[in-house]
Structures are given as C-alpha cells and as structure tokens.
C-alpha cells in the first residue's frame, strides 16, 4: 500500500505529458542537462585551480628550502 506500482507511475507520466507536452518536457530536460554540465565544469575548474595553487606553494617552499641549505 505504501509503494506505487508501475501502473501508477505510467498514469502520472501520461498526465504530465498531456499537461506540459513533449516539446516543453524536452526543453526542460535539455536545460537541466546543461545546468548539470555547467555545474560539473565549474567544480572541475575550481579543483584544477586549487591544485595549481597548491603546487605553486609547494614549489615556493622547496625553492626557499634549497636557498637556505646552500653554503654561503
């Protein structure tokens, strides 16, 4: 009683298609897909920037350490 059968979901899907139409549903799907792609791209770029900054700081620390160890 608590779960819906496949027939309930098919009826809901038919009602949604009748209300919105297939063209509008397709547009909504495309917009949602583009939003997800943009979100993933933003996260990826943020991670790449963070890694690049970490590498630069590590290289700076190494160069400072090498300068301190060189005999004068």
This prediction's pTM: 0.51
How many Cβ atoms from other residues are within 10 Å of residue 30's Cβ? Answer: 10
How many Cβ atoms from other residues are within 10 Å of residue 20's Cβ? Answer: 13
CB under 8 Å to 25, separation ≥6 — which residues? Answer: 16, 17
Give 35-61 pLDDT, tens digit per residue: 999 999 988 888 888 888 888 888 888
All structural domains of the chain with their residue ranges:
22-69
Could you give the CA distance from residue 39 to residue 28 in angstroms, rounded to a whole number?
16
The answer to whether 12 touches 20, Cβ cutoff 8 Å, is no
Could you give the CA distance from residue 16 to residue 47 in angstroms, rounded to a whole number?
39
């Amino acid at each position: 009683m608590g779960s819906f059968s496949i027939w309930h979901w098919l009826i809901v899907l038919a009602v949604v298609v009748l209300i919105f139409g297939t063209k509008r549903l397709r547009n909504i799907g495309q917009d949602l897909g583009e939003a997800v792609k943009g979100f993933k791209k933003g996260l990826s770029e943020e991670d790449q920037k963070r890694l690049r900054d970490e590498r630069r700081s590590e290289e700076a620390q190494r160069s400072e350490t090498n300068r301190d160890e060189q005999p004068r």
